[in-house]
Amino acid sequence: MSEKPHKGQSGSIGNVSTVRSDLTMNKIELLYRALFAAFGPQHWWPAETPFEVAAGAILTQNTNWANVKKALNNLKAARALNAARLHEMPAAEIAALIRPSGYFTVKAKRLKAFVSFLIEKYRGSLKRMKSEDMQKLRKELLSVHGIGPETADSILLYALEKPVFVIDAYTKRVLSRHAILNHDESYEVFQGLFHSSLKKDVRLYNEYHALLVAVGKAFCKPRPLCEQCPLSKYLPEARR
């Protein structure tokens, strides 16, 4: 399960709605409110540029953020944290720089595939990419070697500020343990539930995903620590 990041990002939203009462809030909104009250703003995603976010989204596959940070720092020190430089750099050289992130040969190829796509389609500019329609971009990203739904949506949400909810293993674990969805449901079913339960809001999606990772890391471990967890009162009767 990958871990992700923190940054000093301004602004966060504590309430999904300021006018609705508990009775009219759906389960997804209630969980958000409880998580935000317990953990506060998570300040995602830590990066100096959108390109760094996109590279981080690829490097964070199957590893923790501390390792990703080391890999990103190596790329920065080599002045290689940009599309043009990564495009011209041999994969073996990239692999050596990103070694701390694990699966470095595979990830070097993935980074190169992403920058080839970015250069061919958007002349290397995430700013240019951002002006395109989200569904079109999502389709394009999913066709890039090594980019699956979670990575594509992380790039869309955190690098391009598009309103799409990121689903990860923590999200599936929390929702299934709360009997909201079956763990075996598809990525799209989980994502659809968030999209239909929340207003379409980039900041809300940003914060909520980060909060689910926070509760997953702190409490919703393979052996859950429900008694101390801020979501325990929302557990189904049978699990309390």
Nearest distance from C-beta of residue 68 to ligand SF4, angstroms: 25
Residues engaged in binding ligand SF4 (CB under 6 A) = 174, 177-178, 215, 219-220, 224-226, 229, 231-232, 235
**Which of 114, 219 has the CB closer to ligand SF4?**
219
**Which of 4, 162 has the CB closer to ligand SF4?**
4
Q: Which residues contact 6 (CB under 8 A, 6 or more apart)?
A: 42, 43, 44, 46
DSSP-derived 3-state class of residue 197: helix
Nearest distance from C-beta of residue 217 to ligand SF4, angstroms: 11
Burial 198-223 (b: 16+ CB within 10 A, else e): beeeeebbbbbbbbbbbbbeebbeee
Nearest distance from C-beta of residue 19 to ligand SF4, angstroms: 27
Nearest distance from C-beta of residue 183 to ligand SF4, angstroms: 12
**Which of 121, 217 has the CB closer to ligand SF4?**
217
For residue 78, which of 98, 105, 92, 103 has the smallest C-alpha distance?
98
**Which of 152, 231 has the CB closer to ligand SF4?**
231
- In this structure, what is the dihedral angle of CA atoms 191, 195, 196, 201, given to the nearest 10 degrees? 160
